[in-house]
Amino acid sequence: MAAPWRNPRTVLLFVGLLCLYFFWPSSSSSTPFTKFTSSSTDSASYYSSLDDDELASRVTRSEKIYNKLLEDRKELIKKHGPTPNDVALFPPDKDPWPAYTVWDFFPAAYNCPHEITRLGALGDGGKWVCGISRVEEKPDCIVYSFGINYESSFEAEILAHTDHCQIWGYDFSVRSFGPEIPLLQKSRTHFFQYGLAGSDKPDENPKMYTLETLMKMNGHTHIDILKIDIERWEFETLTALVKPYIASGKPLPFGQLQLEIHLWNLSFAEYLAWWESLEAAGLRPFWTEPNLVYQNYNRPGTSDLAEYSFLNTKGDNIFITNPKRRSEPERNRNVHGPTP
């Protein structure tokens, strides 16, 4: 009988075991979206394991991709314009119809540097989030949600995916969050029957406040995730919100924005100017989808509602930079905030 080590199968098995020994990743290595445990000694315990250089490289690369989109948009406007004032939103007289729509000019061309997760209902109510892993264990995670409509699947999934996120909800048309939020999680939610607007109107019914005023009421200086669905008031609200930040060059006070856009009674030129103000403030769309419920049932044949998710690419929010160590001041000392 031949010696076992002369058997080709034995040799191949031995070589395979050697490869496993030398090339199998050690238990100390980490992959891009590892959830760290609380045993970590610094703030790395609550963000994914991209190092500073890799994260900065991804953000820079995404900006280059988006800048190419800006040039393409100019060319598309020339083709169908040639000026913004000459572009129709939904041309009714093209064959085949429609030749293009307004959304073709504004694709979500920015690449989120982390995983993208849909949170909430698979339909109206769900939102796409960039890097929920970045706030899984973040101790001062803050979420604001405007427009509840008694449907809280999005907010409920944020609570389920994170350990510490506190959610502030606002909607003057309902009395509370929806039934999707379990009683055990009520301690991490705060609801008020206020509306979001471009100016403070505390004496009106319903009461309306700017985002800046509400943040001051709650003792917050930064929001990680901001959701806005306020039935076309997003134009007035965001126009007023971004204007001082564009003028000062300071970053907007939130990390990312989930926004439903209601394209009613606007010209293309008006919409373009509003969108470009969001871009000037540092917002970049990384995901979009049409509101198919509205499109198919409310107004068949139209596509004037769309969901967009934006990343704030200015400043040092948790989605574009790694946080400082715990020994330095946290961004939001007062996580719970005073009651408005």
Residue 76 structure tokens: 């598309």
- For the chain, what is the mean pLDDT? 83
pLDDT in tens, 147-179: 998 999 999 999 999 999 999 999 999 999 999
* pTM beyond 0.85: no
> Pairing relation of β-strands 195-196 and 208-209?
parallel
Q: Is the pLDDT of residue 329 over 50?
A: no
What pLDDT is recorded for position 290? 79
Find the radius of gyration of the CA atoms of the chain. Answer: 24
The amino acid that residue 156 corresponds to is A
Match 């939904």 to its residue by tokens: 90
Report the distance separating Cα 182 and Cα 250, nearest Å.
38
Report the distance separating Cα 312 and Cα 5, nearest Å.
61
What mean pLDDT is predicted for residues 296-304? 54
Q: For the chain, what are the domain ranges?
A: 52-72+110-312
With beta carbons less than 8 A apart as the criterion, state whether 284 and 320 touch.
no
Residue 269 region by backbone torsions, left for phi larger than 0, else alpha for psi between -120 and 50, else beta: alpha
With beta carbons less than 8 A apart as the criterion, state whether 194 and 237 touch.
no
Which range among 40-49, 86-95, 133-142, 180-189 has the greatest average pLDDT? 133-142
pLDDT in tens, 54-66: 999 999 999 999 9
CATH code at 52-72+110-312? 3.40.50.150
Report the distance separating Cα 234 and Cα 213, nearest Å.
16
CA atoms within 13 A on the CB side of 203: 0
